[in-house]
Amino acid sequence: MQLNDQIKTVIEGSTKILVHEQSLTSKVPPQDMPFFNPKAKLSRDLSIIAYSAFLKNFEGPKTFLDSMASLGARGLRVANEIKNIKVFVNDLNPSALELARRSADLNGLKNFETSENEVCQFLSAFSKRGCRSTIVDIDPFGSPSKYIDCGVRATLHKGLLSVTATDLQVLHGIFKDACRKKYYGVPIKTTYSNEISTRLVLGLVNMVAARLDAEITPVFVETNMHYYRIYVRVLNRPDTQNAIGYIIHCRTCGHREASSEPADCRLCGSKTEHAGPLWIGKLFEKEFVSSMQGEITDTADKKCAKIIERCLAESDMPACYYTLDEIAEMNGSSPIPMVQVLKRLQEDGFLSSPTAFNPTGFRTDATINKIREIFSS
């Protein structure tokens, strides 16, 4: 392919990105040219917001490793839109890296370097003490499982590791054996399968980090279209948390909860299904999500503000959300507006919030019996 053939300039945020025209129109990733997904702008916008919030109070040299960069869209935006940071982007496709370098020149970037290497070899170059990176990003097609070890090793103490998973068929339980091998746990099919999937990814990262005498703290997670993305702070100290367990789901009454061990339903006594082992701790760090609100720019997707607002609202809420349609189906009635549901729960003394995982989803500490009663009133 001649790089000058059909090359277009896309502007995301304040960054100019050179992409092949077919990447903008093709419904499937092109096989013979550098890949760029224009629909992932929302994810990249949220990344810039999260990274900016993380680095705002970070002291010391700031570096960013984009280990699977393709033509470098995320890394280019970090280099251009975040001050005083050194960016290294890596890919095995020389054509993609050539486009990345041309994009860097187009934006006048002097803090941008490219690497043509296998992912773990690239990350291993930053795994020694004194060489580790402030932020490490792993964004593969499919599962990130085989890259987590080197990703954790390359992340500075108190640094940030961001990881994407796109193997939804595995995480949603179509291939349970594959899920067990890749994520050390299995899912169950529920209306909140995207939360279970996110917790499986976090469980994997937590268990790998613990083996390396490191501890993780999730600060932000997001899901959109066909991916799950987590952001965790890495602490180079032995893991003393008890955040691995199971999601218990009762098919008889609809009760669900996070638990350290599988158990029968505590409401109706029925046998339950369980997903896991997986992460059962918090998904959001409230202070961090709050700081993200101050980093939203005018160029960010308008959805970012609403997503972050919902994440902040649910940051202290229990695991496992419900949906309006799910409860209405149980009751054989029509759904009622979200505002009414949340208001009624709060008036009855329960915690409640919407969730960023589902536009009709909500979290509460009320039992399923109480929720159904409120829907019926």
For residue 181, the model assigns a pLDDT of 97
3 state SS of 371: helix
Placement of tokens 């964004």 in the chain = 139
Please list the residues that pair with 218 across neighbouring strands: 232
Q: Are strands 227-235 and 215-224 parallel, antiparallel or unpaired?
A: antiparallel
Q: What CATH number was assigned to the domain covering residues 284-376?
A: 3.30.56.70
Average predicted confidence (pLDDT) for the chain: 95
**pTM, to two decimals:** 0.96
For 334-363, what is the mean pLDDT?
96
For residue 46, the model assigns a pLDDT of 98
For 226-252, what is the mean pLDDT?
96
* Angle made by CA atoms 175, 144, 40, in degrees to the nearest 5: 100
CA dist list (Å): 215 to 208, 232, 236: 9, 10, 6
For residue 34, the model assigns a pLDDT of 81
**Architecture of the domain whose range is 7-245:** 3-Layer(aba) Sandwich (3.40)
Question: Does 338 have pLDDT greater than 50?
Answer: yes
Task: Return d(Cα 130, Cα 141) in angstroms, integer.
Answer: 30
Question: Does 156 have pLDDT greater than 50?
Answer: yes
Question: Does 197 have pLDDT greater than 80?
Answer: yes
Task: Return d(Cα 293, Cα 309) in angstroms, integer.
Answer: 8
Length of the chain: 377
Nearest-10 crossing angle of helices 303-314, 41-56: 60
For 306-324, what is the mean pLDDT?
98
What are the tens digits of pLDDT across the range 85-143? 999 999 999 999 999 999 999 999 999 999 999 999 999 999 999 999 999 999 999 99
Q: Are strands 155-165 and 133-138 parallel, antiparallel or unpaired?
A: parallel
For residue 153, the model assigns a pLDDT of 98
What are the tens digits of pLDDT across the range 289-308? 999 999 999 999 999 999 99
What are the tens digits of pLDDT across the range 15-42? 999 998 877 776 666 666 788 889 999 9
**67-71, 225-229, 336-340: which has the minimum mean pLDDT?**
225-229
Distant-in-sequence, close-in-space partners of 37: CB < 8 Å, separation ≥ 6? 23, 29
Secondary structure letter of residue 186 according to DSSP: B
Domain ranges of the chain: 7-245, 284-376
DSSP tally for the chain: helices H, then strands E: 14, 15
Question: Does 234 have pLDDT greater than 90?
Answer: yes
Residue 117: how many CB atoms within 10 A of its CB? 15
For 279-285, what is the mean pLDDT?
98
What is the end-to-end Cα distance of the chain in Å, rounded? 65
For residue 6, the model assigns a pLDDT of 85
Secondary structure of 256-277 as H, E, C letters: EEEECCCCCCCCCCCCCEEEEE
3 state SS of 58: coil
Q: How confident is the model at residue 14 (pLDDT cuts 50, 70, 90)?
A: very high
Structure tokens at 55: 């680095």
Question: Does 213 have pLDDT greater than 60?
Answer: yes
With a pLDDT cut of 70, the percent of the chain lying above it is 97
Contact by Cβ (8 Å): 136, 192: no
What are the tens digits of pLDDT across the range 47-92? 999 999 999 989 989 999 999 999 999 999 999 999 999 999 999 9
Name residue 288's amino acid: F
- The alpha helices in 107-192, defined as continuous H runs, are 119-124, 148-153, 168-171, 176-183
Task: Return d(Cα 167, Cα 307) in angstroms, integer.
Answer: 23
Task: Return d(Cα 338, Cα 125) in angstroms, integer.
Answer: 50
For residue 1, the model assigns a pLDDT of 40
Q: Which of 30, 49, 14, 60 is nearest to 294 (CA)?
A: 49
